[in-house]
Structure 1
């Protein structure tokens, strides 16, 4: 199956929210999920936040409680493409390693640019298996990045084991427990020289400091943001709102997330790197 992939936005500098979710309770959730969201995250509400914040669109991330059923997110992305004046959306999916190349190409045509592995509280996949090696090799043909959500203590082991040589995106400040750990982990990743490039999302500060309020956690992450700028450079940092703040949906607003994005990265806080598109 040959899918013609066109994206007339790729030559334009886009200001995107690099980490957000959309979902409704009408979509079946997987049985072994770790949690169920209390409220819905409907696209229309999110569209209004993007518009009010003068953002071009977002990188939508498949919620873990839907498992590998990406249909709702992909449908939202497709409808947005067909609607004049709607935000520009790209997507990060969750898929099984036995998915066909045709299915992945079809997802790319819909705007998918990456695949996420949520490994928090989960064992590492069997990366030595041929299935996983072929799966990850296919990302290079598609120019997809690999996004990983994992505890900071396990990040170096993951980076050593994963057979992937493309762009790596690390979620939520890399979940460091100290400035020393953040610096040591990233230096280890850079020393591997196996990834095309390494990016870190400045998102979900409350996930880094779960015992603190939103404002307190965002303030504490300011130091981490400075470290990351020094270690990776501004162009390798992605701001994300993490809307609608699943499992921690109180104490913050979308405008608060935008405000902290500007604190961490300045006025160009939402500029999205062309090399990931």
Structure 2
């Protein structure tokens, strides 16, 4: 069943044509994660029969349940998760909140909300473990939301101690800069702002992102999703270089410059990938190539996410 504009309706749980299911048998990583490591960017999708997808969504994913996510967590060696609201669920955070409530305190969340959200709803999400809201500026994934509405939401969540997660593409940073720098909370950038890794790491595009982080100490970055950014792809050469090796210089640079403001996550179940579905074990083995010392790995995987999402606990 589709609507007049050919978008799937919420009653149709058949995934979008060409959708790639998540990697069913991820390898066991050779890299041993530090104790207490957090997968700080992952999703749950549905299941659609229990948590219907949003009528306005631009894709229908495969189902990816909380049970499958937490089984992956244990397989890879993580201790905790940060579950980020998926665009296919719109502003209905039910699936994400359900995952938090069934995590035994081992998950926190990032929601999508509209201006109409009530204070009581925000408090209920906070009690469930939500600690941030996500603003998506990737035009192929979401429709435009007025910036004044987003700023109003940011000011409402600030008293809760929440932060704003922003998802955008590098070419759009110049036009979004002024808005981003007015946000009154900590700001977490998804996937380094999606740089074009075919361009030089010393070039003007990535330099602008470095300037953004350097001049604004409230800005953090996830150094995740090499599978989205890479041109070279997942093949390592003779075991000497990391898979997705063309992403390494960019991510390593951010980790080394801003070691106290970086996070990492699997992005499971990897929505909207077109070319290949990554082995999540291989993604974990990417980590020591970008955080090259135990001290940097501890900050990236344990200390930083604990400080942001579980500040009431000692990392």
Report TM bin, short chain.
Answer: 0.7 to 0.9
Aligned to 2:115: 97
Relative to the length of structure 2, the TM-score reads 0.73
Whether 1:17 aligns to 2:39 is: yes
Aligned to 2:290: 264
Q: 1:173 to 1:64 in 2, by over 3 A?
A: same
Structure 1 residue corresponding to 2:261, chosen from 211, 236, 257:
236
Structure 2 residue corresponding to 1:214, chosen from 192, 217, 234:
234
**For residues 196-216 of structure 1, what are the alpha-carbon distances to aligned partners after superposition, in whole Å with 9 as ceiling and x for unaligned?**
52111122212223x553347
**Rg (Cα) greater in structure:** 2
**Rounded Cα–Cα distance in structure 2 between residues aligned with 1:73 and 1:35:** 18
Would the aligned equivalents of 1:174 and 1:182 in 2 still touch at CA under 8 Å? no
**Rounded Cα–Cα distance in structure 2 between residues aligned with 1:36 and 1:212:** 28
**Rounded Cα–Cα distance in structure 2 between residues aligned with 1:222 and 1:19:** 18
Question: C-alpha displacement at 1:170, in angstroms?
Answer: 0.5
- Higher helix proportion, which one? 1
**Unaligned 5+ residue runs, structure 1?**
1-12, 82-86
Would the aligned equivalents of 2:227 and 2:278 in 1 still touch at CA under 8 Å? no
Q: Secondary structure at the match of 2:301?
A: coil
Would the aligned equivalents of 2:54 and 2:88 in 1 still touch at CA under 8 Å? yes
Question: C-alpha displacement at 1:114, in angstroms?
Answer: 0.7
**Rounded Cα–Cα distance in structure 1 between residues aligned with 2:213 and 2:174:** 7
Structure 2 residue corresponding to 1:164, chosen from 176, 183, 203:
183
**Rounded Cα–Cα distance in structure 1 between residues aligned with 2:253 and 2:179:** 25
Question: C-alpha displacement at 1:151, in angstroms?
Answer: 1.0
**Unaligned 5+ residue runs, structure 2?**
1-34, 237-242, 310-315
RMSD: 2.3
* Aligned length in residues: 252
Where do 1:1-277 residues align within 5 Å?
Answer: 14-23=36-45, 24-26=47-49, 27-37=51-61, 39-81=62-104, 88-121=106-139, 125-127=145-147, 129=148, 131-162=149-180, 163-177=182-196, 178=199, 179=201, 180=203, 181-191=205-215, 193=216, 197-209=218-230, 212-215=232-235, 218-231=244-257, 233-248=258-273, 250-266=276-292, 267=294, 268=297, 269-273=300-304, 274-277=306-309
Q: Which runs of 4+ in 1 moved over 6 A?
A: none
**Rounded Cα–Cα distance in structure 2 between residues aligned with 1:259 and 1:182:** 24
**For residues 124-168 of structure 1, what are the alpha-carbon distances to aligned partners after superposition, in whole Å with 9 as ceiling and x for unaligned?**
6422x4x54432112221111110111112124323124312111
Relative to the length of structure 1, the TM-score reads 0.82
**Rounded Cα–Cα distance in structure 2 between residues aligned with 1:90 and 1:43:** 13
Deviates more, 1:144-153 or 1:22-31: 22-31
